[in-house]
Structure 1
Amino acid sequence: MSAPAHIRRARPHDAFAVAAMAVQIGRERGASPDPEFIDRFADSWLRAEGRHPFWLAEVEKRPLGIAGITLVEQLPSLGGARRARWAQVHTVFVTPTFRRCGIGGQLAREVFAWASAEGLTHLRGDLTELGPAAAGIARRLGARPTSEGSFESVLKVPATLF
């Protein structure tokens, strides 16, 4: 199935849509349903005040994919960097019906563009948590494997990706 997806940064009024996507991820991984999860997730995300940005992929305003990061700000070190801001990519998910349509790549490109514009130094992602398509998406975006099996990208993303 092929459909152009609209990718946008999730806003506070999207808290339940973000939580519902997290439920889909959990169910796909075999987690048991929890009737209070959506409320707990939405409340936690709203309290985080922007430390865990998410992006939604939508077709006709229906969420069908999500990407999320956790922002990290390292303390300065003597003789080292004054301050390093980077992000851990913890979520890239597309509903089964819309997989292999390029939406995961669209989400990743949007995260890269935002992170670069925000001055983040790099992104890291543990591919064991991101699903089977993550390695290919990461490589296409210029990320390199690390010794731990995660991927890392310095945010000098080629303009051809956008």
Structure 2
Amino acid sequence: MATSAPRNGWIIWFSLALALLLSVAPMPEFMAVGRPLWVALVLTFWTLAVPHRIGMTTAWLLGLLSDVLNGTLLGQNALVLTLTIFMVLSLHRRLRMFPMWQQSLVLLVVFGLAQLVQLWLSALTGNRQPTLEFVFPALVSALLWPWVFAIFRGLQVRLGVH
């Protein structure tokens, strides 16, 4: 069985760079509480779409870049993103078979657990008081998942990314 060479990998890296920029883009104060987890969303899509190209190493590197951009403890976002992608890879085959609303619910749990780890790490370092606001980014990200999936799936098909 002949395998073809990877094509149009630039779109993957461009979309991940755009997600990093969106994660630090300024937002109004009332909306900042529910800032979507852009890097986790885009990374989740590409992990589900091309798991042979994007995985935990990519998540770790993007997490380190996110730590530098956000000015957080070095390795904090890297750990959280790596755990998120580990959970997504563990559920990879099931997630691909689920209808979109079930994917959103599963990703709500995955992102919620990631936010819980993020909250725990922030509380350990003394940066943030524990509140229930940590749920909002996971909820907003789960609600955005169908649109993120549709946009990037269209790009993947149109540009032949594999």
TM-score (norm 1): 0.30
Structure whose residues are more often strand by fraction: 1
TM-score (norm 2): 0.30
Structure whose residues are more often helix by fraction: 2
